[in-house]
Amino acid sequence: MAVGLSEVMLNAAAADLDLNACPALTRSRQFSLNAVSAIRVALERSLGASGASILTVVAAGSLGRLEAAHHSDVDCIIIVDDTADCDPAGITCAVDAIYAEFSRAGLKPPKAEGIYCVPIKASTLLAPASRGSLDEPPAIFGSRMQLLLDARPLYCAEQFIALREQLLSWYRAPTSTSGSWTHLLNDLSRYLHAYAVWQQFKFSRSDDDGWYLRQAKMRSTRIATFAGLLFLLGESSRKRAEQHAWVLAQLDLTPLGRLKIVFDAHRDADFSSVIAVYESLHCMLSDGVIRRELIDSSPTTAADWHDDYPRTYARIHELSERLMDLLTQFVLARSNDWSRSIFRNWLL
């Protein structure tokens, strides 16, 4: 059952866009579909027989968006049940097995210093006391956000779907009025702006990462991913009593697929312009030579930063400005279509 459900979800996501004019995105999507399918089958075989307390394994980031390429990092969220503390050795073995399958698929496991290294209990993500908490660890808050932004199940899809539905309901209770996404909109804004400020002042550089590369990702894939969910919430305000069910039904789509379904609902909107710019950005960021140049030219301290960008990053900056302009213009045109509360929550 789990494999069949995973296939249904993957097929829905794979068909959410017409990529005939987007060769770079097409290549990444095919690589991602092959990787997800291979990892899913392998994990069903290895984890299914392990007896470990793992509820579901989820890919976020580029693999979740179906935009991964060879040696992409995997943002992997591992969800466990409340009995996991009784079997730490079993969980460790299961995590090792998961990471091994990423390597076999040509992908890099999560970075050791990242937030996706420690399995998370489902009950922790759904704890009522976490609503509004400013003390919650970034790994918990960030994982909760990613499960709604760009997640894709790699193991036990039915558990993932159940958890995602619980998370969406968690954001609607207990103080939200019917039809209100206030809590989720506030948390999305908090995550987006905290992430942007963190990236603005993170000047560390390694062999595979640097300031210009992180900024290029932030201004392209990250922005589109946030917009995909934010625009769904905005469009749902036209659905009245069916808002919750409508948003839930769209969550299997990739961020670009979410944007398309919202753009296509309005005659004055042109999604083809958005995906054309996104394809150009994706093509550049998929180029190993360009990525190397972005990393090597990245400033390593705030004192080294200046706005006279290197030519390659300047082009990416220009394209990302265009992408953000197109998304902003679309939102501004919805002032008479979407609920005023949506705009109030975004602006105030």
pLDDT for the residue numbered 91: 87
Least confident of 48-62, 174-188, 295-309: 174-188
Which residues, in sequence order, are bridge partners of residue 58? 77, 153
CA distance 64 to 146: 9
Region 170-197: mean pLDDT is 85
Q: Is the pLDDT of residue 121 over 90?
A: yes
Residue with tokens 């059952």: 1
Region 11-24: mean pLDDT is 85
Quote the tokens at residue 44. Answer: 């069903």
pLDDT for the residue numbered 175: 62
pLDDT for the residue numbered 213: 97
What's 222's DSSP letter?
I
Q: Is the pLDDT of residue 314 over 80?
A: yes
Q: What is the pLDDT of residues 261-299, one digit of tens each?
A: 999 999 999 999 999 999 999 999 999 999 999 999 999
Looking at the structure, give the CATH architecture of the domain made up of residues 1-170.
2-Layer Sandwich (3.30)
Region 10-26: mean pLDDT is 85
Q: What is the pLDDT of residues 82-113, one digit of tens each?
A: 988 878 888 888 888 899 989 888 888 887 76
Residue with tokens 């908090």: 190
Region 204-221: mean pLDDT is 96
**In which band, very low, low, confident or very high, does the pLDDT at 2 lie, cut at 50, 70 and 90?**
very low
- CB atoms near residue 214 (< 10 Å): 21
CA atoms within 13 A on the CB side of 187: 27
CA distance 54 to 48: 9
CA atoms within 13 A on the CB side of 294: 24
pLDDT for the residue numbered 221: 97
CA distance 298 to 42: 38
Q: Residues with Cβ < 8 Å from 258, sequence gap 6 or more?
A: 228, 229, 231, 232, 250
Region 181-205: mean pLDDT is 95
Q: What is the pLDDT of residues 36-45, one digit of tens each?
A: 999 999 999 8
pLDDT for the residue numbered 15: 74
Q: Is the pLDDT of residue 19 over 60?
A: yes
**In which band, very low, low, confident or very high, does the pLDDT at 116 lie, cut at 50, 70 and 90?**
confident
Region 220-245: mean pLDDT is 95
- Give percent of the chain above pLDDT 90: 75
Supply the mean pLDDT for the chain: 91
What is the three-state SS of 130-143? HCCCCCCCHHHHHH
**Distance set, CA 270 to CA 209, 261, 263, 308, 327 (Å):** 34, 11, 7, 32, 10
**Angle at Cα 283 formed by Cα 231 and Cα 260, nearest 5°?**
25
CA distance 208 to 58: 24
pLDDT for the residue numbered 176: 56
pLDDT for the residue numbered 179: 55
Q: Where are the domains of the chain?
A: 1-170, 180-348
Region 228-237: mean pLDDT is 97
**In which band, very low, low, confident or very high, does the pLDDT at 169 lie, cut at 50, 70 and 90?**
very high
Region 132-151: mean pLDDT is 95
**In which band, very low, low, confident or very high, does the pLDDT at 12 lie, cut at 50, 70 and 90?**
low
